[in-house]
Structure 1
Amino acid sequence: MSYKELIVVGELNVDLILNNIEGFPKIGTEIIANNMNLTLGSSSAIMAANAAAMGISTSFCGVVGNDNYGDFITSELKKKNVHTEFITKNSALQSGITIVMNYDQDRANVTYCGAMEALTFDLIPWDTLSEFKHFHLSNFFIQKGIRKDITKIFKKAKECGLTTSLDLQWDPENKWDFNFEACLPYVDIFMPNEQELLALTKQETLDTAIQHIEKSANIIVVKMGEKGSIAIQNKKRTTTEAFHNPTYVDSIGAGDSFNSGFIKKFIEKAPLTECLRAGNLMGALNTTAAGGTAAFVNQNIIKEKVKTIFNSEL
């Protein structure tokens, strides 16, 4: 593989994950969590780290604070062989953190954005972008510094000759202020999950949501959890079933791991069915360990786990 294949532009934070929690916190009270993990967080970083672990040459562009969490984030990315030369350290800001409270297969999150909001159009390495094959951006709503320029960003990425993908993620403000009619023509792969697509289009069913947006989009890929995934291109729909993990731990980052598997095959010019299958497989593998990256050590171990747990191949 070439030195520069994938560049991921997005937010960076740590996840403090609390498990085996005795109840739900109420104002004025204290409860106990019986397990804690500090891991690399953020949708974008999880996608980048797992793509690199699968063998894709990956670089990251984002902003962290000049602090211990920022050092931890860049160190964890480097351990996964993600190139970090485009990560900016901002001494005026603190690195972001998400407190994750896990309850079986559901969770509650509290996020401090910090340096995540400082990424801007000008910090993207436009002078070298044409050296890459694919451009991925995730978690649009939480990154206030790039909101107004999102269409401009994807238009310029296309002008640089890259294929592109976008995963909006959930809007914490629930406003869904994203002009998809203007932006999506420059996005090769739009990658929402089912609930995000319904919220964005203000529709009640997946079918009507797809109809509402498909005129503006090139390829739409909808993640549906245990129901698998669906791709829509030129009004043709392709559906693949999910892989089921018998030893579920948590689903933090499962959608991001889906993205990394899908994009790996897309870069390799595989057909859509194979891209969807790889996405589903990596999403399921994600749930075998705590957090979004622990299940993705390196390419060989990923292949071994996929064979052992799912009797399949990547």
Structure 2
Amino acid sequence: MYDVLVVGELNVDIILNRIDGFPEVGKEKLSKDLRVVLGSSSAIFASNLATLGAQVAFVGKIGKDQFGQLVETSLKQKGVGTQFLVHTNDHQTGATVVLNYDMDRAMVTYPGAMEHLTEKEVRNDILTEARHLHVSSVFLQPNLKKNLVQLMERAKSFGLTTSLDPQWDPAEQWDLNLQELLPVVDVFLPNRSELKHLTKTNSVHHGIDAIKDFANIVAVKDGENGAILYHDGETIRKPAYLNKEVADCIGAGDSFDAGFISQYIQGKDLQTCLDFANLVGAVNTTEAGGTAAFQDLNKVKSIAKERFSFSI
């Protein structure tokens, strides 16, 4: 029924832009722009992947509250299947406060219900509804993370391909057993910083060297430098599509993932997957928030053509 099943965290983003300075204890700063929108890396990935034409469903845990309603309604509006969402009375829906400063941002997250999603709640009858499984933000989901290998193994046993974007570890412990996990992950999608922390190395090159013996496809997001891909002894680098008028970078990495997986599930070659991922990440930066540039496919095509001279 679905091309991609996304398993991940769900929250709203409370975004503050045009802030008159950095926060200081005991002082008050003003922001001239406020938005409350669908947040979470996993939801941005799912929404934008659906806009690109894939059939997408989501497994995540939300509270029975107003934020949860906003999350579910927003996913439905983006064309993402929500029938597998887990609703709970025991926990509130998560929320992230985002302070935007030009190309960078500071975030504070209340995890809420997302911390309590378990591997067992991704049932076999749900997995068999999809061709590909994508998991994101494992460090925000400790109950899912501890049995992540088993989830990936179950997906593989049903014939699904798999992908993983680890995202940042707020505790900065980076306790993920890559040697056990990556053999059952077809596409590993860290950014430069995450790869270095996970492999305890000081460069993308050394990070790839540390995992190449047991990893399948590794696609590393490298910001303005583009992206680097390693597979089967070959390294590919693709330059970024640079946007001279960045609205913000929220969700750019998630959109990169969406671009890559949208091509991967169609069987496109890895160079095409990587180049399209760079493009979609750049399209993301043309409007504020992670999904604003992805209202529909025609808008994505228009931005790609007008801003980056790319025909989709």
**Normalising TM by the smaller chain, what interval?**
over 0.9
1:214-262: CA deviation from partner (whole Å, max 9, x where unpaired)? 1120011100011011110012001111001122100000000000000
Please tell me whether the aligned partners of residues 84 and 126 of structure 2 are also in contact (alpha carbons under 8 angstroms): no
Q: Among 4, 12, 15, which residue is 1:14 paired with? A: 12
Match of 1:238 among 236, 239, 243: 236
Shift of 1:20: 0.7
SS of residue paired to 1:181: helix
Name segments (4+ residues, structure 1) moved above 2 Å: none
Residue in structure 2 matched with residue 171 of structure 1 by the alignment: 169
Asked if the contact 1:296/1:302 (under 8 Å) is kept, the reply is yes
TM-score by length of 1: 0.98
Partners of 2:75 and 2:97 in 1: how far apart?
Answer: 20
- Deviation per residue, 1:80-129 (Å, 9 max, x gap): 00000011111111000000001111111000000010110111131142
Conservation of the 8 A alpha-carbon contact between 1:86 and 1:125: no
Alpha-carbon separation, structure 1, partners of 2:96 and 2:110: 6
Residue number in structure 1 paired with 2:283: 285
Query: Residue 15 of structure 2: SS of its match in structure 1?
Result: strand
Q: Which amino acid is 2:162 matched to? A: T
Residue matched to 2:226:
228
Hey, what's the Cα distance between the residues in 2 that align with 1:141 and 1:128? Answer: 23
Contact 1:53–1:298, Cα closer than 8 Å, also in 2: yes
Amino acid at match of 1:160: F
**Residue 73 of structure 1: aligned partner:** 71
Alignment: residue pair count = 312
Distance (whole Å) between structure 1 residues aligned to residue 205 and residue 212 of structure 2:
11
Partner of 2:81: 83
Q: State the alpha-carbon separation in 2 of the partners of residues 31 and 300 from structure 1.
A: 39
Structure 1 unmatched runs, 5+: none
Q: How does 1:1-314 map to 2 (within 5 A)?
A: 3-314=1-312
Q: Which amino acid aligns with 1:272?
A: L
Percent of aligned positions that are identical: 45
- Which amino acid in 2 is paired with 1:121? E
Query: What is the SS of the residue equivalent to 1:238?
Result: strand
TM-score, normalised on structure 2? 0.98
Q: Find the aligned partners of 2:133 and 2:212 in 1 and give their Cα distance.
A: 21
Q: Spell out, residue by residue over 1:192-221, the C-alpha distance to the aligned partner (whole angstroms, 9 max, x if none).
A: 000100011111122111101111200111
Q: Return the offset for 1:147.
A: 1.7
Aligned-residue offset at 1:155: 0.7
CA-CA distance at 1:27 after TM superposition: 1.3
- Structure 2 unmatched runs, 5+: none
How far did residue 16 of structure 1 move? 0.6
Matched letter for residue 134 of structure 1? H
* Aligned mates of 2:212, 2:139 — CA distance in 1: 21
Q: Distance in 2 between matches of 1:131 and 1:64?
A: 21
**Cα RMSD (Å) of the superposition?**
0.8
Q: Displacement, 1:313? A: 2.1
**Which AA in structure 2 matches 1:199?**
H
- Cα deviation, 1:163-183, whole Å, max 9, x if unaligned, reads 000000011000000001001
